[in-house]
Structure 1
Amino acid sequence: MASAKKILLYSTLSVIFVYFLIAGLIKAQPFLAPLTVAVILSLLVLPLNRKMESWKLGRTAASLSSTFLIFLLSLGFFALISMQVKNLVDDWPTIKETMTPKVVKLKEFVFEHTPLTQEDIDKTSSDGPVPFLSMGSNPGKKAMSFFNSVMSFFGNYLLTFIYIFFLVNYRSHFKKFLLRLFPDEKQDSVQNVITKSATVTQQYLFGRLILIGFLTIFYSIGLGLSGVNNFILVSVISAILSLIPYLGNIIGFSLAMIFGYLTSGDPYMLIGISLTFFIGQFIESYILTPYVVGDKVDLHPFLVILVVIIGNLLWGILGMLLAIPVIAIVNVVLLNIEPLRPFGYLLSKEDKEE
């Protein structure tokens, strides 16, 4: 009887802990999201920072230089996306005119084979979240909400780079803090775990960055030769979405189909898009990933899907993008701490530990 009460007590406490943990993560997103991005980017830029320090450049100057470099790269990325979005806006009337007959046929098919009606679609469209274009009764309030969202994004964007500078510049201070959490006899073991975890995580993140760059170039060539409109924008988005296992590739392929085959109806374009994504995914999965990323942080496919879903529920698209790098870092730490190794085995593929 006492054992049953203890199990009930621990189960209840676990459920309460998980509930408040999830609620806290959702509530703290404005603070935790830029900090999490900064931690991941700090690990990515740390080898460059150490290289500059070996050139007799002071730590503060090296940290500032590496942070400014990644800031310039992000600005270049946003500039590229902005130009492609502008081209999309300019071409939108032509794209809309081409797609209208196909959308009408799709609606007819949906009305004929599903219980949906035109009123359901009209109601969904009128409640759309697109600023200024929805049928709300207070456009001024929506404009202010949109402006606040933009200002919040840029505030978090700049704050992320401030975090990166301090994390890289004062990394020794944070490392000593972690070491002081453990007794002296475990200092060497903890030092080894910190060093090994950081090294493996950097290799993983750098490998994923290389794969994103490869997919961007490959998709741009393939989709450009296939005649897809705004192929650079579609290629960049599809490459970044490859961080989301399974679902990201499907979304990227769907974008290419929308801006390619659906706007032209050319069957050769359909073949070109399909071949581009098939060959790109084959090269990434079976040739580049084993050599560039390796098997140091391979995660179990089922756990990967669960983590991505949880990331989406917590922080939306950003949560989906951060889910894999974060769980990869957690998995590396778990596999290098003896008492927690069973949890690392749970997250890893079968027989990885063996």
Structure 2
Amino acid sequence: MKALPITVIRSIELLGLVLLITVLYVGSSIIMPVLLSFFISIMLLPVYRFFRKRKIPEIMSIILPILLLALFLAVLVWFFSSQISVLISEFDQIKKNVGMHLEKLSKWIESSFNYSATEQTKFINEQSNNILNSLGNILGGAMGSFSNFIIFFGLLPIYIFLMLFYKNLFLKFIFTWFRKEDHEKVKEGLKESEEIIKSYLLGLLIQITYMTILLGGLLLILGIKHALLIGVIFAILNLIPYIGALFGNIIGVLLTLSSSQELSSVFTVLIVIAIVQFLDNNILMPRIVGSKVKINAFAAIIGVVIGGSVAGISGMFLALPMIAVFKIIFDRTETLKHWGVLLADERPKDGENMI
């Protein structure tokens, strides 16, 4: 049988990539909970195996890790609700601080750009009217988003339970796709995928813990209000590669401005965040995750942006582990090795033959 021309093969590959992204986009509300459940179930596997080794019944060995995860999330929700209650109780002071900062900003704009306070007020009123006009649509969409949120997280424990319960069935299904002589390669790929996913997700969990303690603790020592809240928010947003840290900085600055009348507090927060980020990126996180997820920065950023466009926050969060799994598949498939090269973090030397 005559082999297909290389241009046709590459065209089919690109068409398959477009089709995959389209399917993820169209079916994101169904696919993303399943994918997130899959990654979480991989992370819970060691706990499940721990209970099984101690002769605990299979059903209980599945339910107990899910309950531990639910307990962790409940503590997180309790912390956020208690911190928000504190913010609400300080609303009058926050309003006063924000008003003072806005007045200073208005005077600076007037002196620097010759844009009078009257013109600024007119501009703000016009923008406020535009926001109010679209508020009805935003609230309507928020109700739909809230119901989707409840459905999303309501299905997660069910999916996780079923994935752990039927894991052997899924493995059998995967092996039946391949010839017997390829089963050893498939087994190696599955083991490596499991190791990478566990390493990555457990690393992120540890990262949330130490960043909250380190960032929140330092800000608390330096007398910054809402220090722990800033630490937790930044640690969680930092899970979204490259983009999350930017939003974490912005929220940290806004919380500091609303709780303090001194701009020096803002610079303190930014400096402490920069120091903690430097330690995290160059010392702590590489030692925790190691070199398990070796994806180049360009592929990672593109993956996060596409993941966010396709499936929102969950897509951004799952982008890196999904890319890592795809890389394992590409590296072990002769016809797809060039895609693995594209995702790798190994820069060829100048003049090196890539073929």
TM-score, structure 1 normalization: 0.84
Does residue 149 of structure 1 match 2:145?
yes
Aligned residue identity for 1:318? S
Does residue 310 of structure 1 match 2:310?
no
Q: 1:189 aligns with which of 181, 185, 188?
A: 185
Does residue 158 of structure 1 match 2:157?
no
Instruction: Supply the distance in 2 between the matched residues of 1:267 and 1:143 (Cα, whole angstroms).
Output: 34
Q: 1:325 aligns with which of 321, 325, 339?
A: 321
Greater shift, 339-348 or 301-310, is seen at: 339-348
Structure 1 residues 108 and 56 mapped into 2: Cα distance closer, same or farther (>3 Å)? same
**In the TM superposition, what whole-angstrom CA distance separates every residue of 1:249-302 from its partner, at most 9, and x where no partner exists?**
222122222222564243552453134212211221222122111012121111
Note the residue ranges of structure 1 that are not aligned, 5 or more in a row: 129-133
The residue that corresponds to 2:174 in the other structure is 178
The residue that corresponds to 2:291 in the other structure is 295
The residue that corresponds to 1:87 in the other structure is 86
Note the residue ranges of structure 2 that are not aligned, 5 or more in a row: 349-355
The residue that corresponds to 2:32 in the other structure is 33
Aligned residue identity for 2:65? S
**In the TM superposition, what whole-angstrom CA distance separates every residue of 1:94-128 from its partner, at most 9, and x where no partner exists?**
21221123234445666875999766654544454
Instruction: Supply the distance in 2 between the matched residues of 1:196 and 1:9 (Cα, whole angstroms).
Output: 28
Aligned residues: 341
1:259 partner SS: helix
Identity rate of aligned residues, in percent? 26
Structure 1 residues 59 and 334 mapped into 2: Cα distance closer, same or farther (>3 Å)? farther
Alpha-carbon contact 1:334-1:341 (below 8 Å) kept: yes
Instruction: Supply the distance in 2 between the matched residues of 1:180 and 1:9 (Cα, whole angstroms).
Output: 25
Alpha-carbon contact 2:185-2:332 (below 8 Å) kept: no
Q: 1:258 aligns with which of 245, 254, 262?
A: 254
The residue that corresponds to 2:242 in the other structure is 246
Q: 1:277 aligns with which of 254, 273, 276?
A: 273
Instruction: Supply the distance in 2 between the matched residues of 1:113 and 1:19 (Cα, whole angstroms).
Output: 48
How far the C-alpha of 1:69 sits from its partner, in A, is 1.5
The residue that corresponds to 1:71 in the other structure is 70
Instruction: Supply the distance in 2 between the matched residues of 1:136 and 1:247 (Cα, whole angstroms).
Output: 27
The residue that corresponds to 1:62 in the other structure is 61
Structure 1 residues 233 and 65 mapped into 2: Cα distance closer, same or farther (>3 Å)? same
How far the C-alpha of 1:93 sits from its partner, in A, is 3.0
How far the C-alpha of 1:206 sits from its partner, in A, is 1.1
Instruction: Supply the distance in 1 between the matched residues of 2:81 and 2:243 (Cα, whole angstroms).
Output: 24
The residue that corresponds to 1:233 in the other structure is 229
RMSD over aligned CA atoms reads 3.2
Alpha-carbon contact 1:197-1:336 (below 8 Å) kept: no
The residue that corresponds to 2:41 in the other structure is 42
Alpha-carbon contact 2:97-2:257 (below 8 Å) kept: no
Structure 1 residues 18 and 190 mapped into 2: Cα distance closer, same or farther (>3 Å)? closer
Greater shift, 75-84 or 17-26, is seen at: 17-26
Instruction: Supply the distance in 2 between the matched residues of 1:266 and 1:121 (Cα, whole angstroms).
Output: 24
Aligned residue identity for 2:277? Q
The residue that corresponds to 1:204 in the other structure is 200
Greater shift, 104-113 or 190-199, is seen at: 104-113
Aligned residue identity for 1:319? G
Aligned residue identity for 2:269? I
Q: 1:340 aligns with which of 336, 343, 348?
A: 336
Instruction: Supply the distance in 2 between the matched residues of 1:175 and 1:311 (Cα, whole angstroms).
Output: 26
Alpha-carbon contact 1:307-1:324 (below 8 Å) kept: yes
Structure 1 residues 344 and 98 mapped into 2: Cα distance closer, same or farther (>3 Å)? same
TM-score, structure 2 normalization: 0.83
